[in-house]
Amino acid sequence: MNGKHFHTIVIGSGPGGEGAAMKLAKSGKRVAVVERHTEVGGGCTHWGTIPSKALRHNVRRMMEFNASPLFREVSEPRQFSFPTVLRTAERVIDQQVGLRTSFYTRNDVPLIHGKARFADEHTLEVEGRTGRVTRYTADHFLLANGSRPYNPADVDFSHPRVFDSDQILGLDHTPRSIAIYGAGVVGSEYASIFRGLGVKVDLINTRERMLAFLDDEITDALSYHLRELGVLIRHREEYDRILPADDHVILELASGKRIKSDILLWANGRTGNTDDMGLEGIGIQPNSRGQVEVDDNFQTQQPHIYAVGDVIGYPSLASAAYDQGRYAAHHLMHGYCDYRLAHDVPTGIYTIPEISSVGKTERELTEAKVPYEVGHAFFKDLARAQISGQTVGMLKILFHVETLEILGIHCFGDQASEIVHIGQAIMAQPGEANTLMYFINTTFNYPTMAEAYRVAALNGYNRVH
């Protein structure tokens, strides 16, 4: 057997690539993974999900400590620097890399380090760190090479006061002020992190409202609480130019405003990592943002080449990418897949407080003319939230007026990304198992945050009966 020929070569070792490679390897297929960085894990582990969430966790704990009357009796408020809280994130990254590397070792999946480029439809050239190019062939390929922050040509990202969301993890001090351009998921999360560290934050939103894909009531609550923390949010703004100087940076907006800050974080859009891969030469044309078009089975214009994760765009979630990788691997092997991906993918946004949702929003249900009603549980009324001091937030259940079917779960507050999965599990049940009555007739531990489901269900039920 040719040692450089494989059943499948996976390009990228992030969640999508890992999910596909493990599925293929455990099915007995000869698979290799090409990774251009020295360590596995992709952007999720090194520059995105893991470091930003570890940062947020430490900042939130510090805020919780400083706000607690009990701790104030024995200690003055504490303030940590950005590099200090980042060090914990680095420890988590190391642990994740070690764990994920062991998956490939245990399953006899070779890791090929280098930059991949297609020579033809079945041949891949991999350029290693020394510049040596090695050719590999495969029957199938799976693109899981992720994305990177979008860097417009007229912004100088080499300047020490201008950062994108990857570069910000190399910040070696705590600035006094920061302007964040882009109020999407990344911008909103970093606004929470820096404001929690006591940094003056200007958050520039190019749209009418923040995180417009979420339920309006949830985004209104987030905007309110960010402002309550001291974040200045500016909606419907576009940048004109960015002027960095030795001791500050000025963000000039098209509206005429000039925002002066110590540093600027560009958090507006991402680009697929498809440049210089030779895709055009084999009939695969990425769009202007470097993303690859796929069909419902994650096949590109070349049926033997699949693509998953950030490189195909929405929803650009690590959790979704892993499932897409497993699905694509099954379809690649069998030509079909006997299970469908979950229709409703939960969204987790790690602001302070955090947000998570699954299913339809009120806006979507109204536009579709679906008769629905709302059940609320406010955390300030829950004993567990009162005990922990995390009383900001709510759980919101959207359900069908006539059938009581659960149509959407929206949560804002502490542990929202954990709480939402209870509702997700019930929404996935067939027929009458997915109704408001499950929450009403189920005994929840007391006191817990999960009890919010019973409170919200009763609140909603009382609106229709």
pLDDT over 80 (residue 1): no
155 part of a folded domain: no
Judged by DSSP in three states, 76 sits in coil
Looking at the structure, tell me whether residues 171 and 258 fall in a common domain. Answer: yes
Looking at the structure, tell me whether residues 27 and 144 fall in a common domain. Answer: yes
3-state class percentages of the chain: helix first, strand second, coil last, to nearest 5: 35, 25, 40
Alpha helices in 230-382 (DSSP H): 318-334, 362-367
What band does 72 get if pLDDT is binned at 50, 70 and 90? low
Q: Which are the contacts of 412, defined by CB distance < 8 A and separation ≥ 6? A: 218, 221, 222, 353, 354, 355, 393, 394
Give percent of the chain above pLDDT 70: 96
297 part of a folded domain: yes
| Tens-place pLDDT, residues 81-111 | 888 888 888 888 889 989 999 999 999 999 9
**Least confident window among 28-42, 47-61, 71-85, 365-379:** 71-85
Question: What is the distance between the alpha carbons of residues 411 and 457, in angstroms, rounded to a whole number?
Answer: 14
348 part of a folded domain: no
> Which of 248, 268, 288 is the last residue before a domain boundary?
268
Which among 183, 147, 151 has a CA at the least distance from the CA of 164?
Answer: 151
- Average pLDDT, rounded, for the chain: 93
346 part of a folded domain: no
Looking at the structure, tell me whether residues 312 and 419 fall in a common domain. Answer: no
- Domain limits for position 228: 162-268
341 part of a folded domain: no
Looking at the structure, tell me whether residues 142 and 291 fall in a common domain. Answer: yes
Report the domain count for the chain.
Answer: 3
Structure tokens at 276: 């210089």
CATH number, domain of 219, equals 3.50.50.60
Looking at the structure, tell me whether residues 417 and 452 fall in a common domain. Answer: yes
Q: CA 115, 120, 123: angle at the middle one, nearest 5? A: 60
| Tens-place pLDDT, residues 293-330 | 999 999 999 999 999 999 999 888 888 999 999 999 99
Question: What is the distance between the alpha carbons of residues 376 and 33, in angstroms, rounded to a whole number?
Answer: 47
Please give the pLDDT value at position 343.
66
CATH number, domain of 385, equals 3.30.390.30
Span 4-16, mean pLDDT? 96
Span 188-211, mean pLDDT? 95
Question: What is the distance between the alpha carbons of residues 435 and 431, in angstroms, rounded to a whole number?
Answer: 8
Please give the pLDDT value at position 50.
86
Looking at the structure, tell me whether residues 30 and 144 fall in a common domain. Answer: yes
Looking at the structure, tell me whether residues 89 and 28 fall in a common domain. Answer: yes
118 part of a folded domain: yes
pLDDT over 80 (residue 235): yes
Span 367-387, mean pLDDT? 97
pLDDT over 60 (residue 382): yes
398: phi then psi, degrees, rounded to nearest 5: -105, 130
What band does 342 get if pLDDT is binned at 50, 70 and 90? low
Please give the pLDDT value at position 358.
96
> Which of 245, 268, 291 is the last residue before a domain boundary?
268
450 part of a folded domain: yes
Which among 110, 171, 118 has a CA at the least distance from the CA of 141?
Answer: 118
Looking at the structure, tell me whether residues 264 and 275 fall in a common domain. Answer: no
Looking at the structure, tell me whether residues 278 and 260 fall in a common domain. Answer: no
Looking at the structure, tell me whether residues 21 and 133 fall in a common domain. Answer: yes
Q: What string of DSSP letters covers 95-159?
A: HHHHHHHHHHHHTT--EEESEEEEEETTEEEEE-TTS-EEEEEEEEEEE---EEE---TTS-TTS
Which among 177, 228, 239, 232 has a CA at the least distance from the CA of 206?
Answer: 239
pLDDT over 70 (residue 43): yes
> Which of 303, 334, 365 is the last residue before a domain boundary?
334
Span 15-42, mean pLDDT? 95
Q: For the beta carbon of residue 335, count every other beta carbon within 10 angstroms.
A: 9
Question: What is the distance between the alpha carbons of residues 140 and 329, in angstroms, rounded to a whole number?
Answer: 10
pLDDT over 90 (residue 339): no
Contact 17, 142 (CB under 8 A): yes
Place of tokens 């050239």: 125
Structure tokens at 430: 């067939």
Contact 119, 127 (CB under 8 A): no
| Tens-place pLDDT, residues 388-419 | 989 999 999 999 999 999 999 999 999 999 99
187 part of a folded domain: yes
Please give the pLDDT value at position 250.
98
Looking at the structure, tell me whether residues 260 and 374 fall in a common domain. Answer: no
Looking at the structure, tell me whether residues 450 and 310 fall in a common domain. Answer: no
Which among 451, 457, 381, 453 has a CA at the least distance from the CA of 423?
Answer: 453
pLDDT over 60 (residue 121): yes
| Tens-place pLDDT, residues 256-282 | 999 999 999 999 999 999 999 999 999
Span 146-157, mean pLDDT? 95
Q: Which are the contacts of 25, defined by CB distance < 8 A and separation ≥ 6? A: 31, 107, 108, 109
Span 19-24, mean pLDDT? 96
